Amino acid sequence: MSVRKASLTFRVPQMTIVRYEKSPTAQKIGRKTKLDTTEEALLVDMLIAFGNSGFPMNKHDLRSFVDEISFGKGIGTFFSEEWHRRCMRDNEKQISLRMGSNVDRKKAREWTPECAEDWISLLAKLESEGYLSDPAARINFDE
């Protein structure tokens, strides 16, 4: 059967049949990825480990880490926002974008160095008065 007749019979583009005749195994179309599949799998495992430890990597840290890997390999390319989106999309069953804390962003912006110094001075005052060293003076609010 000719390529044209097979194309009409099975309603498949002719180039698909020609490519299949050259190589019957399916191949990805497009350029090769910078990181191979084992490196991406190790990267996903590392992201899962960081997330389980309570300190998940944010987008900026992940891209910086992957840039360091690429410079170490001699690739020297910068990984873009598109790479991050593709990585998250391809591994969406295993990883997701997480926040490192459950603090509201508005409250986090309000936390200034002056507020931190006031909090530390309050703790120092309570320590000097003996409230923090005496276990009977502590109150457990969750019971």
Using alpha carbons, select from 78, 94, 103, 77 the residue that is nearest to residue 40.
94
For 101, the token pair is: 């804390």
Task: Please report, in tens digits, the pLDDT of each residue of the chain (143 residues total).
Answer: 899 999 999 999 999 889 888 877 777 777 777 788 888 889 899 988 888 877 778 888 888 888 888 888 888 777 888 888 888 888 888 887 766 556 666 777 777 888 889 988 988 888 888 777 766 666 654 44
- Domain chopping of the chain, boundaries: 1-30, 37-90, 109-137
Neighbours of 63 (CB within 10 A): 18
SS3 127: helix
